[in-house]
Amino acid sequence: MAKPGRFITFEGGEGTGKSTQAKRLQAALAERKISALVTREPGGSPGAEEIRALVLRGEPARWSPLTEALLFYAARADHTERTIKPALAEGKWVICDRFSDSSYAYQGGGRGLARETVRRIEAIAIDDFKPDLTLILDLPVEIGLKRSLERHGNVETRFEEMDLDVHARMRKTYLDIAKRNPSRCVVIDANQDIDAVEKAVFSAVKKRYRLK
Ligand SMILES: Nc1ncnc2c1ncn2[C@@H]1O[C@H](COP(=O)(O)OP(=O)(O)OP(=O)(O)O)[C@@H](O)[C@H]1O
Ligand SMILES: Cc1cn([C@H]2C[C@H](O)[C@@H](COP(=O)(O)O)O2)c(=O)[nH]c1=O
């Protein structure tokens, strides 16, 4: 049986550079002959991509925080079962753009759902499945939203439309998660150029997995 792979997640607010860095990390691992799958949430399996389309469109208040958390975890259960766990079992590394910490930060800290409620939904959906390493890209929210808007041709997505104080609470929740989980999480300063962020990311990965 293949040695199980590693499960790495990128987390952070809007436009902090998660997708950019996920691809760069995949390339850096490939240079070391490590095959990694890049996937994303919500999404990453056909069913979860359908839920993505449902949960990301419409007005900011279209879904209550509770319904939203249930939808994100329904997508996550499918993604975990059908994409992430099979890849890890084949010995692949999995790099995921967002995972459970996004639900704690967005539906919890940002939109006010109690942490205990998120935890109970999580327990049903994915049990105690967690990443080995979480890289939290930290950036002032105004800068991230500006980057994100420029990328989307100035059309805001449902979450981008939410007030700045909601985004500020999401950022704070990520930093609190990092404090509570020091052995899993590394906070990366994302307010640097792309190459400098890549270097900080790879240095955290090398340290964790003792790569050269
Ligand atoms: N360090 C950086 N400095 C400046 N621009 C950046 C940096 N990293 C990424 N960008 C640019 O910012 C935009 C958003 O980057 P990216 O899509 O990687 O972020 P993201 O965190 O995945 O965003 P979202 O959560 O909104 O999907 C892209 O246009 C990207 O090229
Ligand atoms: C997994 C997850 C995501 N979200 C939000 C965060 C973003 O606004 C969107 C996803 O868009 P992206 O461009 O792919 O980053 O969904 C959330 O609120 N809760 C979650 O669990």
The DSSP code sequence of 116-175 is: HHHHHHHHHHHTT---SEEEEEE--HHHHHHHHHHHTTTPPPTTTTS-HHHHHHHHHHHH
The answer to whether 50 is a known ligand-binding residue is no
Question: Where does ligand 1 bind, in terms of residues with CB under 6 Å?
Answer: 12, 14-20, 147-148, 151, 190, 193-194, 197
Domain housing 51 = 6-209
Q: What pTM value is reported for the model?
A: 0.97
Q: Is 95 left (phi over 0), alpha (psi -120 to 50) or beta?
A: beta
**Model ipTM?**
0.98
- Domains in the chain, number: 1
Q: What is the pLDDT of residues 84-96, one digit of tens each?
A: 999 999 999 999 9
The answer to whether 130 is a known ligand-binding residue is no
What's the pLDDT at 4? 80
The CATH number covering residue 173 comes to 3.40.50.300
For the segment 59-73, the average pLDDT, to the nearest whole number, is 96
Domain-located, residue 117: yes
Domain-located, residue 1: no
Band of the pLDDT at 1, cuts 50, 70, 90? low
Whether residue 157 is predicted with pLDDT greater than 90 in this model: the reply is: no
What's at 149, amino acid-wise? L
Q: Which atom of ligand 2 is the closest one to the Cα of 40?
A: 14
Q: Average model confidence (pLDDT) for the chain?
A: 96
The answer to whether 146 is a known ligand-binding residue is no
What's the pLDDT at 151? 84
Query: Which of 20, 57, 104, 106 has most ligand 2 atoms within 8 Å of CB, for mutation?
Result: 106
- Write the CB contacts of 157 (distance below 8 Å, at least 6 apart in sequence): 56, 148
Q: What is the pLDDT of residues 108-135, one digit of tens each?
A: 999 999 999 999 999 999 999 999 999 9
